[in-house]
Amino acid sequence: MEGGMISVDRWARGSQAYFLTHLHSDHTRGLSSTWSHGPLFCSRTTAKLFPLKFPDFKFALLRVVEIGSWHHLSLSSPSSGSPAPIHFMPIDAFHCPGAVMFLFKGIFGHVLYTGDFRWEATGERSMKARNMLLDALHGAKVDHLYLDNTYCNPLYCFPTREVAAQQVIEIIASHPDHDIIIGIDSLGKEDLLLQISRSLKIKIWVWPERLQTMHLLGYPDIFTTRTSLTRVRAVPRYSFSMNTLEALNAKRPTIGIMPSGLPWVVKPFEGKMKDSLTLSVASTNRTLAGNGTRVDRNMKSAEKVHDHIFTVPYSDHCCFHEIKDFVQLTKPYNVKGIVSMSFCYVNPAYYLSHLFSSNHSSQKTRLDPEILMEVEKVERKGKMKIRDIRGTGLKKRTNKANFMGVRIRRVAILRQISRGVKIVECDSPD
Ligand SMILES: [Zn+2]
């Protein structure tokens, strides 16, 4: 496949077809209501949500594609003009509503672009996605894998979302007299909120635009914009801060819960933060999880990181073991990470190259993946940015260090939080 044929999560002019994995803002950078460079392929749910984000978009450009079906495109080679047909299949990425990965097949072999994804080993939906991918590959190995490498390091060891959701529920249940705020993005974590609502028999407050999203997604009538109806509020992540929590606590006892896989990255650098409070919530640090699967002894659990703030390792991205499982399953010849963050870049080859296929004789796989297709390298800013709110001159160090394959800015985020800094805007990798 040559450049100039298709683009995935990349919106510059010059391709014949465009593919959108999901609607998170780091994948739609460059897309706008006035964008009109070509046909845009996405899942049915993404198409349904599209008008909320891009109200004046030319919807005739949208091409809804069914998950689990092969689709055919008659493209042409930009260099020779000769026909270059491709087949592609969207597969459930299990990330946020509408999220898919795309498997492409053609004379170039198999190219898989995961977008953001989660690959849990249990659950009916996960099994379905796994079988779908295996059936689609039909014994073939992936020639080029563009991988969500957000947490591609053994440091990132967190439980399934089902287990993490239970931790959130236990925190809420153990604070019966507190108001609760939970930081979420404009899309994602719906299942967490549903589980909280069902388990505690309580409605969940969301902001008006989020309620529109919930209605479009067809969720039951458990979400409300009336604060008087519930003590649990899901708030935009950017408004979740220590300042907010302190202000709220001046009026009523309130705790904040941040569901994210992110905090664990700073553990090796947290220095003297021993008094940073592990909590009275269910620990997953045991041999067997509730569903009978083995759990890593180092698996992270909920933590209290501030008087009013808990973090819970509820993530819509793969933990390291899931990434490893995915690479083992797809046996790629070439792998490229699609995500880099301002404080951290994880090279998938560092830990996983022994799982890659090798000795591939085909000329096509000797090509640099960059020229196969135009894909977005998702640049995410430091998702947990820190700002000193006491004016004590906290200095953000920007020197980078190599640590076990991860390039990390030496910003000990949790330590800074403990000194009274604020978590500001998070376009989250959750
Ligand atoms: Zn995403």
Residue 203 CB coordination number (10 Å): 16
CA distance 305 to 257: 10
What DSSP element (H or E) covers 198?
helix 190-200
CA of 101 to the centre of ligand 1 (A): 11
| C-alpha 429 to ligand 1 mean position (Å) | 7
Distance CA 372, CA 382 (A): 29
pLDDT at 297: 52
CA of 375 to the centre of ligand 1 (A): 15
User: For residue 22, how far is its CA from the centre of ligand 1 (angstroms)?
Assistant: 7
C-alpha 96 – ligand 1 centre gap (Å): 7
| Å from CA of 300 to ligand 1 middle | 22
SS3 letters across 88-132: EEEEECCCCCCCEEEEEEECCEEEEECCCCCCCCCCHHHHHHHHH
Q: Give the per-residue pLDDT at 377.
A: 65
Maximum distance among all alpha carbons in the chain? 70
- Name 213's Cβ contacts closer than 8 Å, sequence gap at least 6: 49, 52, 186, 187
Cα(317) to centroid of ligand 1, in Å? 8
- pLDDT of 427: 43
pLDDT, position 133: 96
CA of 188 to the centre of ligand 1 (A): 8
Question: Alpha-carbon distance 247 to 370, whole Å?
Answer: 49
pLDDT at 392: 26
Could you tell me the distance, in angstroms and rounded to a whole number, from the CA of residue 277 to the centre of ligand 1?
Answer: 30
Whole-number Å distance, alpha carbon 358 to ligand 1 midpoint, is 31
CA of 219 to the centre of ligand 1 (A): 20
**How many angstroms is it from 115 CA to the middle of ligand 1?**
8
Q: What is the 68 CA–ligand 1 centroid distance (Å)?
A: 20
Q: How far is ligand 1, taken at its centre, from the CA of residue 24, in Å?
A: 5
pLDDT tens over the chain, length 430 residues: 557 889 999 999 999 999 999 999 999 999 999 999 999 999 999 999 999 999 999 999 999 999 999 999 999 888 888 898 999 999 999 999 999 999 999 888 999 999 999 999 988 989 999 999 999 999 999 999 999 999 998 888 999 999 999 999 999 999 999 999 999 999 999 999 999 999 999 999 999 999 999 999 999 789 999 999 999 999 999 999 889 999 999 999 999 999 998 753 333 334 333 333 333 233 333 333 333 344 455 677 888 888 899 999 999 999 999 999 999 999 999 999 998 765 566 788 888 888 888 755 444 443 444 445 666 666 665 444 322 222 222 233 322 333 333 333 333 333 333 332 333 333 456 6
Rounded distance from Cα 25 to ligand 1 centre (Å): 8
Q: Which of 412, 394, 232, 418 is nearest to 307 (CA)?
A: 418
pLDDT at 428: 56
What's residue 220's pLDDT?
Answer: 79
Q: Could you tell me if 314 and 260 are in contact, meaning their C-beta atoms sit under 8 angstroms apart?
A: yes
C-alpha 116 – ligand 1 centre gap (Å): 5
CA 64 to ligand 1 centroid distance, Å:
19
What pLDDT, on the 0 to 100 scale, is given for residue 263?
A: 54
Q: What are the chain's domains?
A: 6-154+318-380 (3.60.15.10), 161-314+383-393+409-423 (3.40.50.12650)
d(CA 34, CA 51): 12
In 3-state terms, what secondary structure has residue 150? coil
What sign does the dihedral 221-223-225-230 (CA atoms) show?
Answer: positive
Q: Find the 239 Cα to ligand 1 centroid distance in Å.
A: 19
Q: Give the pLDDT confidence of 299-343 residue by residue, as tens digits.
A: 778 888 888 999 999 999 999 999 999 999 999 999 999 987 655
Ligand 1: centre distance to CA 38 (Å): 23
Let me know: does 5 contact 75? Beta carbons within 8 Å. yes
Residue showing tokens 């930081």: 183
Q: How far is the CA of 21 from the centre of ligand 1 (A)?
A: 9
Cβ 314 vs Cβ 237: under 8 Å = no
Residue 221 neighbours by CB under 8 Å, 6+ apart: none
Ligand 1 centroid distance, CA of 362 (Å): 33
pLDDT of residue 391: 26
Ligand 1 centroid to Cα of residue 427, in Å, is 9
Distance between Cα 210 and ligand 1 center (Å): 16
